[in-house]
Structure 1
Amino acid sequence: MAARFPVMIVSLARSGRRERIAEVMSRYGVDFSFIDAIDARRFESDELARLYDDSAARSRYRRALTRGEVACFLSHRLLWQRVVSGGRSVIVLEDDALLDHAFFAKVLTWPEGPLARIADVVLLGRSKLSRSSAARAYLYEPLKRAKRIDGMRIGTPFKQWTSGSVGYWISPRGAMLALAHTEGPVRALLDDWPWHRDDGAMIIKELRPYVVWEAFESLASDLEGERIRLAPTRARWRDCLLEPLRTVRLIARWTVAAVIRLVESAGGSGKRHGGAQ
């Protein structure tokens, strides 16, 4: 396998997870390295106040960010600096990532040029999504204007949200944009992809099917306990009431996606006919 992209794995030195993912990478002969994540336990209160904008976070999410979420953001920012200085696109994984065979057989060998022309970041998976639930996720979140690379689809979902950072591809341009718009104290979640898109002018796409999965069912998260405690609760009855609206939204999204494909196909056909005259 002639991989085009190195893999950077964000990992706490104390996590105890490195051996598993290193064995997988070595088995496939992947060029990889670990990025030591910043340990939130080492934050002093005055240091946290300097590194984190609590007012901005509360304004956006109606809650404070956890120490772990701040440390996670800072860890990925260190990684983006390496991407910019190295001048190469990389694939970023977290150390609890589970990888499909297509990750090694296809994604690692994507042609960099065409990919960099359509995206700054491509999300390769989604946190808290099991493989058994993937088909439903694809159904409810179709892609718009999807391009095919090596038989896989890369496009824009109808809704981008805080869907995790378990695995993503990022270009040097994407890393440069990310660093520029996140300079200063942390004021948002790392995986707030709409924020990166709107505030950072980053082009963020998603892959279908996903090839990276989070081992949330078997490995405890350092972030999840504190995050659940701080997050506002949502009543169960509200989800039940919203279900009919989700069905309507589902039909509308697939209709829009189909219309876009038809328009693009007609445009492409017109260009080919025009060129033949």
Structure 2
Amino acid sequence: MSDLTLTYQYIDATVLEDIEQMTHPINRNAIVKKYGRMLTKGEVSCFLSHRKIWQEVIAGGKLAVIFEDDALIDEDIKHFLDCLAMEPVAFDVVLLGHSKKDYRHKKMYHFLEPLKNGEPLGTYTLGRGFKTWPSGAVGYVITPAGAEKLLAASRTICCVLDDWPYYENKGVLVKEVRPLLVWEDFVNIASSLESDRQTPARKNFLFLARVVRGVMRNIKSRLGN
């Protein structure tokens, strides 16, 4: 972070010993209905940690950038933030990265996941993906107004932290940047479990399907749809 000439501070994570002893309201029925399971202790701890940061963003009264401790930050992040500060862009949250995506294949990922209704911002593009999903909170820009909205939407926890479509339904204006500027350093700690669950033939088929889908999305993106 020092090499990027950014002012920063570390925030200690909230660590729950037992979900049952948590005082923050949580809607277990809604969560199980939505995801088919209850949140883990780690997921709830992560959620409470980010809520603590959102409160600090409001208190500070300024736009902030939040990175999780496993974030790999692109050296161009400072340039992007300068562009964001100079242009009148409407947003509450700008996602800088997606979780569990391999930075070694970022060119292919950007092709497979273009933005719709993209708006230029210097050499970058802001918009929203063709399909939105809980895509991680490894790195994002947030405004004080956005932090207030996220806190209001999570007075009772009803979702995983990074369920951005859920927050959008609550009035939070979420955008993404391309190219992505933050990647999760999961490569060094990745489990082979998911890979083992798929046969090579199935993995090849799914990749081909993603390429075809990526072509169609890029065509739509260029047409402004």
Task: Give the alignment's TM-score, normalised by structure 1.
Answer: 0.71
CA distance in 2 between partners of 1:211 and 1:240 (Å)? 28
Structure 2: unaligned runs, 5 residues or longer: none
CA distance in 2 between partners of 1:244 and 1:213 (Å)? 24
Q: Tell which has more relative contact order, 1 or 2 (C-alpha 8 A, sep 6+).
A: 2
Larger Rg: 1
Q: How do 1:6-85 and structure 2 match up within 5 A?
A: 25-40=1-16, 42-43=17-18, 45-48=19-22, 51-85=25-59
Please point out which of 54, 57, 67 is paired with 1:93.
67
Counterpart in the other structure of 2:119? 147
Going from structure 1 to structure 2, the CA distance change for 1:235 and 1:58 (only over 3 Å counts) comes to farther
CA distance in 1 between partners of 2:42 and 2:71 (Å)? 18
- 1:155–1:206 Cα contact (<8 Å) kept: yes
SS at match of 1:101: coil
Task: Give the alignment's TM-score, normalised by structure 2.
Answer: 0.86
SS at match of 2:76: helix
SS at match of 2:221: helix
1:253 aligns with 2:214: no
Q: Structure 1: which amino acid aligns with 2:72?
A: L
Going from structure 1 to structure 2, the CA distance change for 1:193 and 1:239 (only over 3 Å counts) comes to farther
Going from structure 1 to structure 2, the CA distance change for 1:240 and 1:215 (only over 3 Å counts) comes to closer
- 1:52–1:70 Cα contact (<8 Å) kept: no
Deviations, residues 18-73 of structure 1 (Å, cap 9, x unaligned): xxxxxxx2233321111111013x23x53248643221111111111100001111
CA RMSD, Structure 1 to Structure 2 (Å): 2.7
1:169 aligns with 2:141: yes
Counterpart in the other structure of 2:85? 112
- 1:162–1:192 Cα contact (<8 Å) kept: yes
Q: How far is 1:243 from its partner?
A: 5.6
1:129 aligns with 2:101: yes
Q: How far is 1:210 from its partner?
A: 1.3
CA distance in 2 between partners of 1:30 and 1:113 (Å)? 17
CA distance in 1 between partners of 2:26 and 2:205 (Å)? 37
Q: Structure 2: which amino acid aligns with 1:170?
A: I
Q: How do 1:193-208 and structure 2 match up within 5 A?
A: 193-198=164-169, 200-208=170-178
- 1:120–1:171 Cα contact (<8 Å) kept: yes
Q: How do 1:200-219 and structure 2 match up within 5 A?
A: 200-218=170-188
Going from structure 1 to structure 2, the CA distance change for 1:102 and 1:187 (only over 3 Å counts) comes to same
SS at match of 1:128: coil
CA distance in 2 between partners of 1:114 and 1:154 (Å)? 12
Deviations, residues 247-268 of structure 1 (Å, cap 9, x unaligned): 553333222212217xxxxxxx
Q: Structure 1: which amino acid aligns with 2:60?
A: G
Q: Structure 2: which amino acid aligns with 1:89?
A: L
- 2:11–2:53 Cα contact (<8 Å) kept: yes
Q: Choose between structure 1 and 2: higher helix proportion.
A: 1
Which range is displaced more, 51-60 or 167-176?
51-60
